[in-house]
Amino acid sequence: MSGRIAVYPPENALNAPAIPDTHAAPPQGDAALVAVDRVVEELRRGRLVAVTAGQGKDASWRLVLALETATLEPVQWLLSRNAMVAVTGERAAALGACEAKDVLLALPDGVEAERVLALGQCWNAAGWRQVLGKAVEAGIPGDQPVVAAVQLAKFAQLLPALLVSPVFRGALPANVLAVTAPQVQRHALPVDADLLQVSEAAVPLKGDIASRLVLFRDRRDAAEHVAVVVGKVDAAQPVPVRVHSSCFTGDLLGSLRCDCGEQLHTAIQRLDAAGGGVLLYLAQEGRGIGLANKLRAYQLQDDGLDTVDANRHLGFSADERDYGIAAAMLRSLGVVRIRLLSNSPHKVSALRERGIDVVSIETLPGTPNEHNERYLRTKRERAGHL
């Protein structure tokens, strides 16, 4: 070794011709997806973001902070700017407020930042009403930036409750990332080009079932979804298809609280018996609310709510899933006419709306037990499952 100390930049680079600075931004893909992706990560890390309905120097903005991941300092900062709490209509109804798409709830004058911060970890309605007082009876319908902000929290799989400053005009703080409502809407409506087919391999399954796994990646959020192609698929005929949302507790651990794992294995056996078919395994845990929120919903169910009301109590609809990516996966596989293995009429209508011809539905009955009997009954009586 020469013992010379390496320097940066290299000495010979000092005399290299300069690269012209054209001030042009490098290509980064769809600007809406980039903006939303960055803002979602900021919310997950407890940072403020800005949301507007439009663009330009006269655009009206709202500063937004997710209560679940917030820390004390930004809460104090927003409270000094007359912040309000944004929640979904479902959450507002649980609090006894007027139900709307999304609403703003006023905070009492002089409320302590610590009490507001605690709202992000408390989903008992009585606890919220104790902090908010009469404000829950006078919810203000949210404007377009508020609706977009609530949607961002759902993209982040955070509880959809946010601290929001009043509308203001002028320059944004330099350290705050911003997004527009139209960009949020673009992210919420996937197109086929958002789906990338990444890799595939033959994976024989238990019971000597031949299958091929095809992995897809969603460009919007880098979520990965898998198509399990069982046997030989004849796309000239209606293809047996199961659209299955991931369930960590049921699929992996064999939880007795749901019928997901049983449906997963029964579906694969049905596809094999039919000679071939496709199972789509979608990264949509907890009907689209994520594992953390699903466990919160379980706790609420233990406290007496059923599965539908538990989701709504947290601020979600009964089912937050979207099947645009599922339809895109099927088209990528050349499958457009299907026999759907499902108990959910909602899946039928959702896939048909996205261009998939569902010619029939075949049910997958679950086996009742003392832990899931109420859950199965609720799905039948309140969610319309077969």
Q: Catalytic residue among 321, 322, 374, 380, which?
A: 321
- Catalytic annotation present for 220: no
CA atoms within 13 A on the CB side of 222: 7
Distance CA 153, CA 293 (A): 12
- Catalytic annotation present for 296: no
Q: Could you tell me which residues are beta bridge partners of residue 180?
A: 52
SS3 99: coil
Burial of 192 per CB tally in 10 Å (0-12, 13-18, 19+) = middle
Supply the DSSP symbol for 248. Answer: I
Q: Catalytic residue among 186, 312, 319, 354, which?
A: 319
CA atoms within 13 A on the CB side of 208: 0
Tell me how far the alpha carbon of residue 28 is from its chain's centroid.
Answer: 23
Supply the DSSP symbol for 189. Answer: S
Distance CA 217, CA 328 (A): 11
> 21, 275, 50: which is closest to 180 by C-alpha?
50
Backbone angles phi, psi at 385, to 5 degrees: -70, 150
Annotated catalytic sites, by residue? Answer: 319, 321
